[in-house]
A = this chain, B = another copy of it.
Amino acid sequence: MKVCIIGLGLMGGSMAIDLKKRNFATHIVGYDKSELHAKTAQNLGIVDELMELDEAVASSELVILAIPADATAEVLPKVLDLIDKQVVTDVCSIKGNLAEKIKYHQKRSNYVAAHPMAGTEYTGPWAAKSALFDGKAVILCDVENSSEEAVHTVRNMYDHLHMRPVYMNSYNHDVHAAYISHISHISSFALALTVLDKEKNEKNIFDLSSGGFDSTVRLAKSSSDMWTPIFVQNADNIITVLDTYISKLQGFKEAIEENNKTSINQLITKANKIKKVLS
Contacts and interface: CB of A to CB of B under 8 A. Distances in A.
A204 interface: yes
Q: Count identical subunits in the complex.
A: 2
Contacts of A277: 196, 202, 205-206, 209
A189 interface: yes
A264 to B, nearest CB: 5
Interface string A205-237: 111111111111111111110011101100100
Interface in A242-279: 242-246, 248-253, 255-257, 259, 261, 264-265, 267-279
A58 to B, nearest CB: 33
Interface stretch (A11-19, A147-155, A180-188): A180-188
Contacts of A198: 179, 240-241, 244
B256 A238 contact: yes
Nearest to A217: B274
Contacts of A36: none
A276 B270 CA distance: 35
A131 interface: no
A57 to B, nearest CB: 28
B137 A207 contact: yes
A269 B222 CA distance: 9
Interface string A80-118: 000000000000010000000000000000000000011
Contacts of A252: 186, 189-190, 231, 242
B207 A278 contact: no
Interface of A: 93, 117-119, 136-137, 139, 164, 166, 176-177, 179-181, 183-199, 201-202, 204-224, 227-229, 231-232, 235, 238-246, 248-253, 255-257, 259, 261, 264-265, 267-279
Q: Which 9 pairs from chain A and chain B are nearest by CB?
A: A181-B211, A224-B268, A192-B271, A190-B248, A192-B274, A189-B271, A184-B216, A137-B207, A180-B208
Given A196-B273, A249-B249, 15 more contacts: A166-B207, A181-B213, A184-B211, A187-B187, A187-B191, A190-B252, A196-B277, A206-B278, A209-B277, A215-B218, A221-B275, A223-B272, A224-B272, A231-B264, A235-B256
26 contacts: A117-B208, A117-B209, A117-B210, A118-B211, A119-B212, A176-B208, A179-B198, A179-B204, A180-B199, A180-B204, A181-B211, A193-B251, A194-B241, A194-B248, A196-B273, A198-B241, A198-B244, A215-B215, A217-B274, A220-B274, A228-B261, A231-B255, A232-B256, A239-B257, A242-B253, A242-B256
